[in-house]
Amino acid sequence: MEKNTITKLNKTFEKYAYEHNGVEYWLARDLQELLGYAEWRNFLNAVDKAKESCETTGDGVPDHFVDINKMIELGKGGQRKVDDIMLTRYACYLIAQNGDPKKEAIAFAQSYFAIQTRKQEMLEERILLNERLQAREKLAITETELSKNIYERGVDHKGFANIRSQGDWALFGGHNTSVMKRKLGIDQNRSLADFLPTITISAKQLATEITNFNLKKNNLKGESKITDEHVKNNQDIRTLLGKSNIKPERLPAEEDIKKLQRKVKSSDRNIAKKKLKGI
């Protein structure tokens, strides 16, 4: 396929894209024309096959194929109601996959929607990753503040480790830090939080933030009193999670957050290099 043809088709497909509540979509009547289907009924056969593929992959058909009606203009100012379908990017991709790749428009659409779908997936993955990284950074800051607060109240490094472990014991339903590491297959020399999902990291951070607040407010001193405070706060957070049927100790470990940090930095460097080269 010639470069000029690709450029033209790309502009055409983007021209027919709409957006509703942040979701990009195409109309089936437009896509029929873009893919070169002469008759609506023939195009609907491709749509039906795409719906079957959508069901097979476990995705909800109503989430990607939305039946609508619209009015079209007729001669002499008349109008007529016709059926149409709002199609997500993924729905368009599935429809294109059922077409004849020998036709330029369909061959282009297969690649176009595949790439666009992957871009969306990558964007969603990056957002979720950033949320986890930010939650971990916030927890580190809060725990550093806690260590500073308890040192000022006569608790040493070993005492701080005990307080944090007892907090984990309360949050994870009777599993302290060491036990959770064994349960999740984490090296004892690594931080447990580096392998936890965002929801659990955020839970630990909130409990620790409350402990910091109450330490200052009530001027708590000594390992025993501070431990009791931290345990109570983690138990309260566990109770809150339980209302949504979330049990932190049952959630699987996630990828090492330090590896993810390196991936993000490497990816950002590669994007910067491409921009400098004008790619």
The predicted structure's pLDDT at residue 241: 96
The DSSP secondary structure of 104-168, one letter per residue, reads HHHHHHHHHHHHHHHHHHHHHHHHHHHHHHHHHHHHHHHHHHHHHHHHTTT--HHHHHHHHHHHH
The predicted structure's pLDDT at residue 233: 97
- Interval 14-42: pLDDT, tens: 766 777 777 778 888 888 888 888 888 88
pLDDT at 145 over 90: yes
Query: Are residues 163 and 112 both part of a single domain?
Result: no
Q: Are 133 and 264 in contact, with CB atoms under 8 Å apart?
A: yes
Confidence of residue 73 (pLDDT cuts 50, 70, 90): low
pLDDT at 271 over 60: no
Residue that has been written with the tokens 């701080």 in this structure: 160
Query: Are residues 108 and 130 both part of a single domain?
Result: no
Query: Are residues 137 and 241 both part of a single domain?
Result: yes
Whether 14 is covered by a domain: the verdict is yes
Separation CA 188–CA 180 (nearest Å): 10
Query: Are residues 100 and 36 both part of a single domain?
Result: yes
The predicted structure's pLDDT at residue 270: 53
- Interval 89-118: pLDDT, tens: 888 888 888 777 777 777 777 777 777 666
H or E segment and range at residue 275: helix 257-276
The predicted structure's pLDDT at residue 275: 39
Whether 269 is covered by a domain: the verdict is no
- Counted domains in the chain: 2
pLDDT at 259 over 60: yes
Record the tokens describing residue 211, joined without a space.
Answer: 């402990």
- Alpha helix segments (H runs only) across 152-251: 157-171, 177-184, 198-218, 223-242
State the CB neighbour count (10 A cutoff) for residue 156: 11
The predicted structure's pLDDT at residue 1: 44
- Interval 237-257: pLDDT, tens: 999 999 999 999 999 999 898
pLDDT at 58 over 70: yes
pLDDT at 5 over 60: no
Query: Are residues 41 and 77 both part of a single domain?
Result: yes
Separation CA 144–CA 31 (nearest Å): 56
- Specify the pTM: 0.58
Whether 279 is covered by a domain: the verdict is no
Query: Are residues 194 and 248 both part of a single domain?
Result: yes
**Which amino acid would we find at residue 74?**
L
187: left (phi over 0), alpha (psi -120 to 50) or beta: beta
pLDDT at 74 over 70: no
CA-closest candidate to residue 92, choices 204, 14, 3: 14
Whether 228 is covered by a domain: the verdict is yes
Record the tokens describing residue 129, joined without a space.
Answer: 């990753």
Whether 183 is covered by a domain: the verdict is yes
Give the single-character DSSP code of 189: T
Query: Are residues 244 and 218 both part of a single domain?
Result: yes
Domain end, chosen from 91, 116, 141, is at 116
Whether 61 is covered by a domain: the verdict is yes
Query: Are residues 40 and 68 both part of a single domain?
Result: yes
Mean pLDDT of the chain: 82
Domain end, chosen from 62, 82, 116, is at 116
Helical axes 104-151 vs 198-218, angle rounded to 10°: 20
Query: Are residues 246 and 157 both part of a single domain?
Result: yes
Q: Which domain holds residue 13?
A: 3-116
Percent of the chain scored above 90 by pLDDT? 40
For the segment 58-62, the average pLDDT, to the nearest whole number, is: 81
27 has which bridge partners?
A: 86
Domain end, chosen from 87, 116, 145, is at 116
